[in-house]
Amino acid sequence: MATPSNVPPPPSTMATLFPNFRDQEVQSAVKNLLTYSLVILIVPLASMFLLKQYFFEALLGFGANDALAYSAIIAVILVHVVLDEPVYLGFGAEVKVDDLYRLHSKFLPLGKIGGKPSWLNPKHLPKSTDLLCKVCEKPMCFLMQVCANGGEHDPPHAFHRTIFLFVCRNPAC
């Protein structure tokens, strides 16, 4: 079947698809994005594999699950070191009876493990359907929350960012 002569051919060149691609700033931004993306993928995956397999399991004799956990922590630290970003680690600690008031929602704790989440905005809580396991569709339980502020580079409206981690009680999930 012949194509009409007034119909332009489909775009087939980078210049047609991305008119600004010849711009040096755009090329530099794309190169930086690709480099950053590769570092984000290759550094943690390679370090996790090598550390898990050869250091934690073979050399130190850790089990597979423990070796994976420790190698993942080191991989996260490596990514932050390579990208020159600060790393903030926290560990669950027992809270003294006199300090329990700090875990109330109104004090916006930096993080907590177990109990009930300290929601940042009690007027906009997740629906119960949002907290169902995607596999077995049963309610998940609150495991922990961690402050996820980015520090001085965050915009003022992003002061209280928190990661809430819910897990399914069913080990098969």
Structure tokens, 19? 């008119």
What type of residue is 105? S
Threshold 0.75, pTM exceeds? no
Question: Per residue in 14-25, pLDDT tens?
Answer: 566 556 667 777
Contacts 24+ apart (CB under 8 A), 120-127: 120/160, 120/162
CA distances from 25 to 9, 30, 33, 58 (A): 29, 9, 12, 47
- Using DSSP's 3-state secondary structure scheme, residue 73 falls into helix
Mean pLDDT of the chain: 75
Judge whether 90 and 111 are in contact, CB under 8 Å: yes
Judge whether 101 and 94 are in contact, CB under 8 Å: no
Residue-by-residue DSSP string for 15-41: HHH-TTTTSHHHHHHHHHHHHHHHHHH
Question: Per residue in 86-140, pLDDT tens?
Answer: 555 444 556 677 776 665 555 555 677 778 888 877 788 899 999 999 999 999 9
